[in-house]
């Protein structure tokens, strides 16, 4: 019987593994590969790595050189930028307002939120009698939605402040029509078409954002500065328009500031109570007047709101005493001792 061949262990050589991974080639795997690559690129927080090398205050100074619209776009580039600008929104917006819109900021002040007013005065502001008095500042305007009395102070000053901010948004909305010479759709008196209600509701929502966000407030002033420069250019191009206007150069426009509005110019406080007024409106900068003695613009002080609140309290007190005297004269409450209404807190 033949013998089987035998080999010693030392004669065995190590096996050479030549197996290779199969290359997967399909549309599905290609899409998955591209998706993973794209996800890996997004995970790289490039802005954070770059800005992390700079001092914190230097980053703030860089951002304050941007326009509000640029800051909003920058917020959308990365989570890091969004969180940083949101955290420092008040500081950034305050600096931007001082550098770019120091004039418009004093003309378009924010109305005071009802939450920031003494709760004891809320009922005095919201009485039907006072709301009826304010009708002249609310109902006639078809291009402005009035403020919500449960959210915004309805003293005369704050009502006018709200209306001025709403004009900013509405005037900007129709700039394309004005530039192209297209007529602005008019709303018949006493009519409330749905398209107009949609517009003024959207505009009121933008104004509400400005009440809570300093950056949105700065954005409104940026928009109005753009509307103002476009309006002046339109009227300058009209050779038949010889009216006095603000002197505005290309450098003024390129600077992105409202510095040219501090120069002497025509009155700019006429309220556009109807969209028809937009055709001849050049500069709407309310709450100021030119002083010949001082050779500069004088602005309505921010404390005017506090004075209006004091007036509301006095007005309510007079009405209460008049009603009480009438009741005493009729013998309904003899010997009743009047109790004064709460006084507003001094700032």
In a domain, 35, yes or no: no
- In whole angstroms, give the CA distance from residue 193 to residue 187: 7
Strand-pairing partners, residue 291, are 296
- pLDDT band, residue 347 (cuts 50/70/90): very low
State the alpha helices, DSSP H only, in the chain.
Answer: 27-43, 46-51, 56-63, 68-75, 79-87, 89-100, 102-107, 122-125, 128-133, 156-173, 175-180, 194-212, 214-237, 250-255, 304-329
Residue 3: band (very low, low, confident or very high) from pLDDT cuts 50, 70, 90: low
Confidence at residue 103, expressed as pLDDT on a 0 to 100 scale:
95
291 vs 220 pLDDT, higher one: 220
pLDDT of residue 7: 47
Give a yes or no: residue 246 inside a domain: yes
Q: What is the pLDDT of residues 293-336, one digit of tens each?
A: 898 999 999 999 999 888 888 887 887 787 787 777 777 655 44
Q: What pLDDT was estimated at residue 37?
A: 77
Average pLDDT of the chain is 84
pLDDT of 269? 76
Residues shown for the chain: 347
The structural domain count of the chain equals 1
CA distance 72 to 206: 14
What phi, psi does 111 have (nearest 5°)? -65, 155
**Which pLDDT score is estimated for 268?**
79
Residue 290, beta-bridge partner list: 297
Q: Which of 29-38, 45-54, 269-278, 307-316 is the least confident region?
A: 45-54
- 146: in domain: yes
Answer yes or no: are the C-beta atoms of 219 and 99 closer than 8 Å.
no
Residue 240 lies in a domain: yes
Q: Which of 130-144, 237-251, 290-304 has the highest mean pLDDT?
A: 290-304
Is 251 inside a domain boundary? yes
The pLDDT of residue 170 is above 50 = yes
Crossing angle for the helix pair 79-87 and 89-100, nearest 10 degrees?
Answer: 70
Percent of the chain with pLDDT over 90: 48
C-alpha span between 28 and 30 (Å, rounded): 5
- Cα–Cα distance, 232 to 168 (Å, whole number): 15
In a domain? residue 262? yes
Residue 121 lies in a domain: yes
Q: Per the domain annotation, does 100 fall within a domain?
A: no
- Taking residues 157-171, what's their average pLDDT? 95
The range of the structural domain enclosing residue 201 comes to 111-305
């Amino acid at each position: 019987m033949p013998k089987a061949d035998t080999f010693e262990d030392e004669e065995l050589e190590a096996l050479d593994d030549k197996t290779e991974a199969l290359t997967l080639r399909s549309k599905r795997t290609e899409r998955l590969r591209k998706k993973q690559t794209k996800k890996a690129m997004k995970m790289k927080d490039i802005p954070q790595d770059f800005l992390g090398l700079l001092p914190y205050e230097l980053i703030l100074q860089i951002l304050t050189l941007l326009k509000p619209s640029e800051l909003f776009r920058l917020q959308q580039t990365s989570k890091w930028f969004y969180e940083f600008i949101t955290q420092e929104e008040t500081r950034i917006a305050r600096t931007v307002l001082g550098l770019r819109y120091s004039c418009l900021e004093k003309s378009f002040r924010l109305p005071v939120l009802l939450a920031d007013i003494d709760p004891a005065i809320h009922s005095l502001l919201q009485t039907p009698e006072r709301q009826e008095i304010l009708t002249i500042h609310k109902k006639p305007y078809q291009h402005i939605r009035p403020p919500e009395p449960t959210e915004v102070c309805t003293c005369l000053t704050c009502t006018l402040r709200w209306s001025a901010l709403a004009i900013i948004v509405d005037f900007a909305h129709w700039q394309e029509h004005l530039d192209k010479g297209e007529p602005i759709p008019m709303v018949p008196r006493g009519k409330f078409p749905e398209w107009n209600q949609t517009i003024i509701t959207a505009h009121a929502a933008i104004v509400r954002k400005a009440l809570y966000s300093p950056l949105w407030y700065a954005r409104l002033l940026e928009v109005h500065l753009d509307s103002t420069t476009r309006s002046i250019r339109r009227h300058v191009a009209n050779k038949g328009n010889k009216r006095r206007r603000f002197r505005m150069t290309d450098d003024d426009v390129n600077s992105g500031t409202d510095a040219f509005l501090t120069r002497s110019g025509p009155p700019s406080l006429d309220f556009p109570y109807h969209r028809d007024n937009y055709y001849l409106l050049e500069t709407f900068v309310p709450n100021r007047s030119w002083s010949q003695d001082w050779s500069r613009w004088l602005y309505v002080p921010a404390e005017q709101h506090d004075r209006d609140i004091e007036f509301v309290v006095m007005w309510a007190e007079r009405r209460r005493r008049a009603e009480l005297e009438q009741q005493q004269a009729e013998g309904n409450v003899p010997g009743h001792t009047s109790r004064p209404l709460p006084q507003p807190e001094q700032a």
